[in-house]
Amino acid sequence: MGRTGAKGNGRRQPSLAQLRAFAAVAEHLHFRDAAAAIGMSQPALSGAVSALEDTLGVTLLERTTRKVLLSPAGERLAVRAKAVLEEVGALMEEAEAVRAPFTGALRLGVIPTVAPYLLPTVLRLVHERYPDLDLQVHEEQTASLLEGLAVGRLDLLLLAVPLGVPGVTELPLFDEDFVLVTPLDHWLGGREGIPREALRELRLLLLDEGHCLRDQALDICREAGRADAPVTTTAAGLSTLVQLVAG
């Protein structure tokens, strides 16, 4: 059987220190700034990049007396180096999460129609029960949140279900009633069990495009037999929408 390992293909492998040095230079295009950014001396940084060039057998940098430029190969390989370092960082975070659950950073995405009302409770519980958890909150619309989850920018989402998105696990937390908001003197105000046909003739105020609650409201109206009509007044948030209704 043949031997396997770091030199299994007969070539040396770059070290993480070399990749970090090269990624820093590629980002800053300046040896002094790059060395300061990763806490390495400038001679050590230069040596690490040179060693990486020897290992890969390509020229990564074009050095001049005034500035540092990436070679064409360096442009391509800088992207790869950054991706490798990000994956190593993710591996370390995963290992830390296994070793000590509910510690480190957790990036939570929340839709704007839920965030102001649910976050106070969530943040209080996290602070009390998991003091070592760094909960980072991102308030965005549904499409942006799903994109963030897909590319790894976000870890967990709090939004309206069902989504039906492949590769996403949904865990329903609670149900909410669908409520019709009217001015105080409106004939439907305060009633329960409003017949859907009553929605056909009402003036409709909606949230901006992209809010899932907007789409849900329009679905209800269509089920009631209401034809699509232009909406001239919209709001970015629920509190503003309620004030528009009241006025």
* pLDDT tens-digit readout, 214-223: 888 888 888 8
Read off the pLDDT of residues 123-159 as tens digits, 9 standing for 90 and up. Answer: 999 999 989 889 999 999 999 999 999 998 999 999 9
Looking at residue 211, what is its pLDDT?
A: 85
Looking at residue 166, what is its pLDDT?
A: 86
* Element holding 9 (H helix, E strand): none
Low-confidence residues of the chain: pLDDT under 50: 1-8
Looking at residue 100, what is its pLDDT?
A: 67
Looking at residue 5, what is its pLDDT?
A: 44
Contact 173, 160 (CB under 8 A): no
In whole angstroms, what is the distance from residue 132 CA to residue 208 CA? 37
CATH of domain 16-96: 1.10.10.10
Q: What is the DSSP letter of 208?
A: P
User: Beta strand 133-139 with 156-158: parallel, antiparallel or unpaired?
Assistant: unpaired
Residue 225 Ramachandran class (φ > 0 left, ψ -120 to 50 alpha, else beta): left
Which CATH number, 3.40.50.10440, 3.40.190.10, 3.40.50.1240, 3.40.47.10, labels domain 100-158? 3.40.190.10
In whole angstroms, what is the distance from residue 41 CA to residue 188 CA? 73
Domain ranges of the chain: 16-96, 100-158, 196-246
User: Measured between alpha carbons, how far is residue 85 from residues 79, 91, 110 in Å?
Assistant: 10, 10, 28
